[in-house]
Amino acid sequence: MADRHLGRAVAYANPGDQRWAVVDDEMWRPDQPLSCRFSSASTMRGCFYFATVEGYIIQVRLCPEPRLVPVVVDQPNTQYNMFCYLVPPDDHRCGGMLMVRYYLNLDHLSADEQRIMKRRRKVMDVIRVEHHVKAQRWNLIQLFEVDVAGKRLVPVEDIGRHRAVFVGDVACFSLSARRFPCVAGNAVYMGARGARCPPVGVRYLADKTADPSFVFTTDVPGFLECKAMKQYREKIPELNLVPLARPCTLQEYLVCCAGLLGGLKD
């Protein structure tokens, strides 16, 4: 789903229909008909929701007539400085629907908050936790629980010690750290979009730290590994991420599945 003027839209079909139909999205935002681009979708209790790049959450209703219903729209203007990901609820472990926001910089913070982050960064840069340097980029990722009834986003800093969340441009899902002990619980994994992109790999909620990006390589010489692959695939469709070492870890495999169409080539 995305801006229809860019070739994608919200489409639906009822049983027995011969073709898909497109939901009209201009009825609720006539002043900005070109900005309705969608980044992720989720279902909850039989209802369908999606997140827009502006950070809004919209519900798709088909009865009595197809339409889009705003659920959460009162969000700060971030000038498209973020990626928004909607994570389906984790019903088996009583986890709600989540919104993950990844910011490109710290402009969403106040001047005082930015000064605090810079001071913390100097301290954290010299602290080693479990033999890994925790990069001071956790503040680029915010997590919210979606309160559909209250039409709001509730900031959260704990999703349960056994819940791990993977988000990306391809898929958003939860995983049980109890079932897969090699995956960190109470953490957000950012989907890979390139060999070293995004710069944040894992956001740990318990201690407010983050690991650097997972590092991959490509099977095409000359690729700029610090950039996203999407733009390069237009000219090099066969471009793929490959693991630096084999066999790849479960985390490496999953962050590629979440963030990159086609996943990891191994």
Domain boundaries, the chain: 106-141+149-266
From CA 251, how far away is CA 159, in angstroms rounded? Answer: 18
Phi, psi dihedrals of residue 226, rounded to the nearest 5°: -90, 0
pLDDT tens, 183-240?
A: 999 999 999 988 888 888 999 999 888 888 898 888 877 776 667 787 777 778 888 8
Is residue 157's pLDDT more than 60?
yes
- Tokens 């990722």 map to which residue? 141
pLDDT tens, 28-51?
A: 554 554 345 566 788 888 788 988
Region of poorest pLDDT, from 65-69, 77-81, 133-137, 220-224: 133-137
Region of poorest pLDDT, from 94-103, 228-237, 257-266: 228-237
CA–CA distance from 241 to each of 170, 182, 191, 221, 260 (Å)? 15, 22, 13, 12, 9
In the structure encoding, which two tokens stand for residue 63, read together?
């009865």
Is residue 167's pLDDT more than 90?
yes
Amino acid at 184: A
How confident is the model over 241-253, as a mean pLDDT?
88
From CA 179, how far away is CA 83, in angstroms rounded? Answer: 29
Alpha carbons within 13 angstroms on the beta-carbon side of residue 225 total 15
Let me know if 203 is exposed, middle or buried by CB neighbors in 10 A (0-12, 13-18, 19+).
buried
Is residue 245's pLDDT more than 90?
no
Coil, strand, or helix at residue 253?
A: helix
Please name every residue paired with 25 in a beta bridge, in sequence order, or none if there are none.
none
Region of poorest pLDDT, from 117-126, 147-156, 246-255: 117-126
What's the pTM? 0.82
